[in-house]
Amino acid sequence: MAETKEGARSSYPIKTIVVLVQENRSFDHTLGWFKELNREIDGVIKSDQKFNPVLSSDINSSHIVPFNDQSQYVDPNPGHSIREIYEQVFGKPWDSVHPDPNPGPATMSGFAQNAERKMKGMSSAVMNGFKPDALPVYKELVQNFAICDRWFASVPGATQPNRLFVHSATSHGTTNNERKLLIEGFPQKTIFESLDEAGFTFGVYYQCFPTTLVYRNLRKLKYLTHFHEYGLQFKKDCKEGKLPNYVVVEQRWYDLFLNPANDDHPSHDVSQGQKLVKEVYEALRSSPQWNEILFIITYDEHGGFYDHVPTPVEGVPNPDGILGPPPYHFEFNRLGVRVPTFFISPWIEPGTVIHEPKGPYPKSQYEHSSIPATVKQIFKLKDFLTKRDSWAGTFEYVITRDSPRQDCPETLSNPIKMRETVAKEDAELSDFQEELVIVAAGLKGDYKNEELIHKLCKETCVADASKYVTNAFEKFLQESRKARERGCDENDIVYCVDDDDKHHVVKLLSQI
């Protein structure tokens, strides 16, 4: 049974919620062609083919790109900034001089156009999805458990703001790389603190640099014991029945020869992501806690890949009244593109497909804030985090059975390798990988060294960046352990800083 503090209770059969958020794939790109297996899925089929015009202003043009099922290894990385997503969703480029406050309906007609603008020939990658047999792990999960075909990214933007929404129902106004907040940590309250305050437990199992340290509060001394090395601890805790109430599994973000990235971010091999999902599922399935587990897999955002379902543009509340930075001043009043989402539990009927939510408001949708909203519901937590999770649809009703199934597969199929080459350790960093470097520099005390940060982000390679963030995190943990041993306040945060004599010293947040 999940380790729970005395007095904390839940009336649901679910005592442990496990969350895995993969990277940069749309629903149609990943699961759209699975409609051939289950016609209830709002996906794509050959008899009703979807397409995008190369020039979206001329929808009658013969220059169209059909959406096909030939995806395998995808390289390079399609555009997915807030500006590029605007064009993909509304079919017209963003005009920074005369922005349109009312862009109209989401036609989903600009994916091919935007891809060709970024790189000639890229529309072929953007307008393709995977056949079910190409993703055998997902094929078995679709057949045996539940998927949601109406789950959207929280923000029509890149990775970081969407990952922030997953555990806090806001990005605190960020739509891209906010260096100051990455260094200091985002200040908003998260579902982790809500659980802790109510007597429930949580754990982050990381394989590389834990991205959840982007939240300032999780850097506090009292929470650092909740971070565990995935390879050393996850299977052990599963086997011993010691998983906490809320589990976050973090991936390998940097693509290395010996440890390939398994986050599904292009140009990483999705077979590595499939391997991770298989490994996590099988560890959970063999755990004595299996009958108390709900395993959620989703994707942070669509990564620039095509999806045919219109993005919700009405009735979406700004979570906390904070607007995005210039030049967009985004109001956080519309969602991002649809992404794949799975619900896995022995309490779920096989082949379940969830569509729109049942509330709590007429225009509520499933999006990343649905995770903290549902955690609040299942564990009966006191308060919502923001206006967004109070609005988002909850999915606890996916638990429909009176008793847990006994026929859930114990193992899943082996993934199909997509990439013929090895990892590109000398590759340039993605935007998200750069952001992790900046967070790490904040923890290690290098954040004032502009020359070093520029070199790490713009002149170094994946292998060097991976080594830097790993060493920075180890340094942060080491100094935090020393602070705990000295009896420092559990709410303190350790910061490594340079003193006036350029010596590397350690200070607590209360001393800065």
Look up the pTM and report it. Answer: 0.95
The enclosing domain of 188 has a CATH number of 3.40.720.10
* Distance of alpha carbon 451 from alpha carbon 379, whole angstroms: 47
Range of the domain at 159: 16-24+132-300+311-398
Residues 389 and 436 in one domain: no
**Does 406 map to a domain?**
no
**8-state DSSP, 68:** B
Residues 437 and 387 in one domain: no
What does the angle CA 99 – CA 100 – CA 104 come to, to the nearest 5 degrees?
150
Q: Residue 33 is encoded by which pair of tokens?
A: 């062609």
Residues 394 and 435 in one domain: no
**Does 424 map to a domain?**
no
- 453: enclosing H helix or E strand: helix 450-454
Residues 167 and 238 in one domain: yes
Closest CA to 473 of 233, 206, 217: 206
* Distance of alpha carbon 494 from alpha carbon 457, whole angstroms: 24
143, burial (CB in 10 Å: exposed 0-12, middle 13-18, buried 19+) = middle
pLDDT of residue 137: 99
Last residue of a domain, one of 398, 413, 439: 398
* Distance of alpha carbon 148 from alpha carbon 27, whole angstroms: 10
Q: Residue 481 is encoded by which pair of tokens?
A: 């352990």
pLDDT of residue 9: 62
Cβ neighbours for 369, distance < 8 A, ≥ 6 positions apart: 154, 165, 169, 319, 386, 388, 389, 391, 392
pLDDT in tens for each of the 512 residues of the chain? 666 565 566 679 999 999 999 999 999 999 999 999 999 999 999 999 999 999 877 666 678 999 999 999 998 889 999 999 999 999 998 887 777 777 889 999 999 999 999 999 999 999 999 999 999 999 999 999 999 999 999 999 999 999 999 999 999 999 987 899 999 999 999 999 999 999 999 999 999 999 999 999 999 999 999 999 999 999 999 999 999 999 999 999 999 999 999 999 999 999 999 999 999 999 999 999 999 999 999 999 999 999 999 999 999 999 999 999 988 889 999 999 999 999 999 999 999 999 999 999 999 999 999 999 999 999 999 999 999 999 999 999 999 999 999 999 999 999 999 898 899 999 999 999 999 999 999 999 998 889 999 999 999 999 999 999 999 999 999 999 999 999 999 999 998 776 544 445 566 665 54
Residues 247 and 378 in one domain: yes
Q: Residue 214 is encoded by which pair of tokens?
A: 């982007």
Residues 390 and 438 in one domain: no
Closest CA to 375 of 209, 210, 244, 231: 244
Residues 480 and 374 in one domain: no
Strands 151-152 and 366-367: parallel
Asked if residue 369 lies in contact with residue 310, where contact means CB atoms within 8 angstroms, the answer is: no
pLDDT of residue 55: 86
Residues 245 and 167 in one domain: yes
pLDDT of residue 96: 75
**Does 161 map to a domain?**
yes
Residues 501 and 371 in one domain: no
Asked if residue 335 lies in contact with residue 157, where contact means CB atoms within 8 angstroms, the answer is: no
* Distance of alpha carbon 374 from alpha carbon 186, whole angstroms: 22
- For 70-157, strand residue ranges (E) read 146-148, 151-152
pLDDT of residue 5: 60
Asked if residue 249 lies in contact with residue 212, where contact means CB atoms within 8 angstroms, the answer is: no
Number of domains in the chain: 2
Residues 321 and 449 in one domain: no
**Does 44 map to a domain?**
no
**Does 146 map to a domain?**
yes
Residues 206 and 258 in one domain: yes
pLDDT of residue 512: 47
* Distance of alpha carbon 226 from alpha carbon 207, whole angstroms: 14
For 489-512, the three-class secondary structure string (H helix, E strand, C coil) is: CCCCEEEEEECCCCCEEEEEHHHC
Last residue of a domain, one of 350, 374, 398: 398
**Does 263 map to a domain?**
yes
Cβ neighbours for 475, distance < 8 A, ≥ 6 positions apart: 443, 444, 496
**Does 78 map to a domain?**
no
pLDDT of residue 502: 46
pLDDT of residue 25: 98
* Distance of alpha carbon 439 from alpha carbon 444, whole angstroms: 9
Residues 472 and 331 in one domain: no
**Does 343 map to a domain?**
yes
pLDDT of residue 483: 93
